[in-house]
């Protein structure tokens, strides 16, 4: 079994950037961003690591929430943010590289999304 | 101002075993920017978790990758075991380490062969793959499968390895080690290879860390991160030195993988020496209720499985973050400023596994 116990801290979407800045300034690296559909909301986990200490920030958002990109602080975050958009239909504001829905081309558009009707006209499956 | 042109690289290209596309923005022969694209083979494995019981999903998790399949299965099991507070028998933990390290040997030898092929050293390619066959033979003899082993399950492993067979494997490792030493001497000492790889695709230690590089891609730039050091499974009872290289170029990444072969051999020897007798699995009942992030060190780097259950036999979410996905941003940085002719070698230097990445 893993010997580490991951820590997860819930944060408000509006406070996300500030919290991520704290991690960046503290020397943490971005491990991953992942999204889960829980009922009619999405849970998004931002995972960081420093010296094998694994910590997560969690925001919970509805389908029509636009979330801020953290690619300004972690350049490589664009890959996870585009993935979130393409698989879940979550809109991310201010990505440094925006594939506009063409990173993952799936047979069913936004296969993990919960409310396609809340997406913009261009994004609807 | 020099005119810029865009040259598409991939998804079909002689050095690419799997499809990734790069738009290379060129000024003359120099790459000034890169836009990567994936998504050609997205398989939707994570969606399958909603339709397969958590015990069956081990087989799906294993099929995420055709090279490090065992480690995917073991990592998934590890996460479920953590959620359900299952204590895996010690012998099973050692067996998982042995098969994981054989997987690493197989993967690194495969990569060394492909890498040699990318810079036109066909004989070296054949030698690397000849040694790899010995590793695959052991995997087949002990699990029944060369590529997909199917030997891991929630609560332990499905197959044991007899102690006589373990002794035989330990003896065989002497021959394998000798052959690998001859092979890696060429990779690390040959002047033409050094000339081809030195100062190509440089990635600084700072960039490697902040861009999220993982595995040999990070360690080749001097970032000392190896999840085995967290002591998961039986790794906490084994000793090994982290292999790093400060070059940060294609040669550095090659050197790390070459030297890690010996680390894996040493870990297998230690595991064979220390493995206790006893059961290889325990009975598991109930269903996972809770969540866990489980991490493991794959041949290509840090693997993360996020698992969330709600007390039923079907998980709510399985998310697999593979090392290649996180190595794509560092790859973009390596390619910026390189010569067009170096692109294939640099792309291969991160050991891209796109099927893994697409899940």
Residue of A21, A32, A44 for testing the chain B interface, max B β-carbons within 10 Å = A32
- Residue B184 and residue B256: Cα distance in Å, rounded? 11
B42-46, B251-255, B264-268, B335-339: which range is least confident on average? B42-46
Domain annotation covers residue B70: yes
Q: Going along B112-261, which residue ranges are E strands?
A: 152-153, 156-157
**Residues in chain B closer than 8 A to A74 (CB atoms):** 210, 212
What values do phi and psi take at B8, rounded to 5? -75, 135
Q: How confident is the model at residue A62 (pLDDT cuts 50, 70, 90)?
A: confident
Q: Which residue in B259, B247, B258 sits closest to B115, CA to CA?
A: B258
Same domain, B47 and B8: no
pLDDT for the residue A115:
61
Q: How confident is the model at residue A4 (pLDDT cuts 50, 70, 90)?
A: low
Structure tokens at B123: 């004989």
**Residues in chain A closer than 8 A to B88 (CB atoms):** 1
Domain containing residue B5 = 1-38
Same domain, B270 and B196: yes
Q: Do B329 and A99 touch (CB under 8 A)?
A: no
* C-alpha distance from B270 to closest chain A C-alpha (Å): 19
Residue of B33, B42, B82 for testing the chain A interface, max A β-carbons within 10 Å = B42
Same domain, B60 and B170: yes
Q: Do B211 and A75 touch (CB under 8 A)?
A: yes
Nearest chain B residue to A4 by CA distance is: B230
- Residue B301 and residue B260: Cα distance in Å, rounded? 12
**Residues in chain B closer than 8 A to A73 (CB atoms):** none
**Domain spans, chain A:** 7-114
pLDDT for the residue B267:
95
**Residues in chain A closer than 8 A to B39 (CB atoms):** 86, 102-106
Using CA atoms in the order B224, A28, B75, B91, what is the torsion angle rounded to 10 degrees? 60
* C-alpha distance from B181 to closest chain A C-alpha (Å): 32
**Residues in chain A closer than 8 A to B236 (CB atoms):** 3
Kindly tell me if the per-residue pLDDT of A116 is higher than 70: no
Q: How confident is the model at residue A118 (pLDDT cuts 50, 70, 90)?
A: very low
Same domain, B3 and B20: yes
Residue corresponding to tokens 């999220």: B212
Domain annotation covers residue B355: no
Kindly tell me if the per-residue pLDDT of A121 is higher than 70: no
pLDDT for the residue A122:
58
% of residues, chain B, pLDDT over 70:
100
Three-state DSSP class for residue B56: coil
Over range B235-259, report the average pLDDT: 92
Residue of A3, A29, A40, A107 for testing the chain B interface, max B β-carbons within 10 Å = A29
% of residues, chain B, pLDDT over 90:
52
Domain annotation covers residue B227: yes
* C-alpha distance from A3 to closest chain B C-alpha (Å): 6
Partnered with residue B315 across adjacent β-strands are: B309
SS3 content of chain A, % helix, strand, coil (to 5): 25, 30, 45
Same domain, B131 and B113: yes
Burial of B313 (0-12, 13-18, 19+ CB in 10 A): middle
Same domain, B76 and B14: no
Over range B270-297, report the average pLDDT: 91
Nearest chain A residue to B81 by CA distance is: A1
A112-116, B32-36, B176-180: which range is least confident on average? A112-116
Facing A4 at nearest CB: one of B230, B325, B328: B230
pLDDT tens digits, one per residue of B185-222: 999 999 999 888 888 999 999 999 988 899 999 999 99
Q: Going along chain B, which residue ranges are E strands?
A: 4-9, 21-27, 30-37, 152-153, 156-157, 289-298, 301-310, 315-321
Over range B138-152, report the average pLDDT: 89
Facing A3 at nearest CB: one of B47, B231, B306: B231
DSSP B221-260: TT----GGGG-TTTGGGS--PPP--S--SHHHHHHHHHHH
**Residues in chain A closer than 8 A to B78 (CB atoms):** 1-2
**Residue B186 belongs to a domain with what CATH number?**
1.10.645.10
Domain annotation covers residue B359: no
* C-alpha distance from A24 to closest chain B C-alpha (Å): 9
Kindly tell me if the per-residue pLDDT of A1 is higher than 50: no
Same domain, B132 and B47: yes
pLDDT for the residue B140:
93
Q: Do B329 and A38 touch (CB under 8 A)?
A: no
Nearest chain B residue to A30 by CA distance is: B212
Contact between residue A57 and residue A68 where contact means Cβ atoms under 8 Å apart:
no
Question: Which of the 8 DSSP states describes residue B14?
Answer: T
- Residue B299 and residue B61: Cα distance in Å, rounded? 16
Same domain, B111 and B208: yes
pLDDT for the residue B162:
92
**Residues in chain B closer than 8 A to A31 (CB atoms):** 212, 302, 304, 321, 326
* C-alpha distance from A120 to closest chain B C-alpha (Å): 22
Residues contacting residue B237 through CB under 8 Å, at least 6 positions apart: B274
pLDDT tens digits, one per residue of B13-58: 877 777 888 889 998 889 998 888 877 777 778 778 778 888 888 8
Q: How confident is the model at residue B176 (pLDDT cuts 50, 70, 90)?
A: very high
Q: Do A99 and B37 touch (CB under 8 A)?
A: yes
Q: How confident is the model at residue A13 (pLDDT cuts 50, 70, 90)?
A: confident
Domain annotation covers residue B265: yes
Same domain, B263 and B116: yes
Same domain, B9 and B58: no
**So what's the ipTM on this one?**
0.85
pLDDT for the residue B175:
93
Domain count, chain B: 2
Kindly tell me if the per-residue pLDDT of A102 is higher than 90: no
Three-state DSSP class for residue B283: coil
Same domain, B141 and B195: yes
* C-alpha distance from A76 to closest chain B C-alpha (Å): 5
In CATH terms, the fold of domain A7-114 is: Beta Polymerase; domain 2 (3.30.460)
Name the average pLDDT for chain B: 89
pLDDT for the residue A117:
45
Kindly tell me if the per-residue pLDDT of B94 is higher than 80: yes
Domain annotation covers residue B311: yes
* C-alpha distance from B315 to closest chain A C-alpha (Å): 11
């Amino acid at each position: 079994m893993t010997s580490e116990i991951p820590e997860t801290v819930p944060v408000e979407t509006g406070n996300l950037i500030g919290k991520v800045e704290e991690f960046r300034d503290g020397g943490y690296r971005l491990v991953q961003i992942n999204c889960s559909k829980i009922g009619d909301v999405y849970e998004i986990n931002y995972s960081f690591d420093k010296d094998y200490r694994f910590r997560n920030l969690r925001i919970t958002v509805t389908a029509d929430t636009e979330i801020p990109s953290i690619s300004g602080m972690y350049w490589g975050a664009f890959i996870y943010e585009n993935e979130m958009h393409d698989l879940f239909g979550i809109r991310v504001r201010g990505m440094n590289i925006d594939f506009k829905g063409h990173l993952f081309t799936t047979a069913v558009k936004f296969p993990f999304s919960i409310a396609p009707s809340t997406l913009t006209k261009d994004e609807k499956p | 101002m020099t005119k810029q042109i865009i040259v598409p690289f991939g998804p079909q290209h002689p050095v690419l075993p799997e499809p990734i596309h790069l738009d290379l923005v060129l000024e003359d022969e120099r790459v000034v920017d890169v836009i990567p694209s994936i998504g050609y083979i997205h398989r939707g494995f994570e969606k399958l978790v909603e339709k397969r019981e958590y015990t069956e999903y081990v087989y799906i998790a294993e099929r995420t990758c055709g090279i490090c399949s065992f480690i995917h299965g073991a990592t998934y099991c590890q996460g479920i075991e953590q959620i359900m507070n299952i204590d895996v028998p010690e012998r099973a933990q050692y067996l998982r380490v042995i098969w994981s390290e054989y997987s690493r040997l197989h993967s690194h030898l495969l990569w060394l062969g492909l890498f040699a092929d990318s810079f036109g050293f066909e004989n070296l390619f054949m030698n690397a793959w000849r040694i790899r066959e010995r590793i695959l033979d052991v995997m087949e003899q002990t699990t029944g499968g060369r590529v997909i082993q199917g030997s891991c399950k929630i609560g332990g492993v499905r197959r044991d390895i007899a102690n006589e067979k373990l002794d035989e494997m330990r003896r065989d490792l002497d021959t394998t080690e000798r052959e690998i030493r001859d092979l890696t001497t060429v990779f690390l000492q040959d002047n033409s290879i050094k000339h081809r790889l030195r100062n190509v695709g440089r990635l600084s230690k700072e960039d490697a860390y902040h861009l999220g590089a993982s595995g040999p891609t990070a360690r080749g730039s001097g970032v000392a991160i190896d999840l085995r050091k967290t002591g998961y499974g039986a790794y906490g009872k084994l000793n090994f030195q982290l292999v790093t290289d400060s070059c940060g170029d294609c040669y550095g990444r090659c050197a790390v993988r070459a030297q890690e072969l010996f680390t894996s051999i040493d870990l297998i020897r230690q595991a064979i020496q220390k493995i206790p007798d006893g059961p290889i699995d325990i009975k598991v009942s109930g269903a996972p209720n809770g969540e866990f992030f489980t991490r493991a060190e794959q041949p290509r780097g840090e693997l993360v499985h996020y698992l969330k259950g709600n007390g039923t036999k079907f998980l709510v979410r399985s998310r697999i973050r593979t090392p290649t996905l996180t190595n794509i941003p560092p790859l973009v940085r390596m390619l910026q400023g390189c010569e067009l002719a170096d692109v294939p070698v640099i792309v291969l230097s991160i050991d891209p596994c796109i099927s893994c990445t697409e899940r």
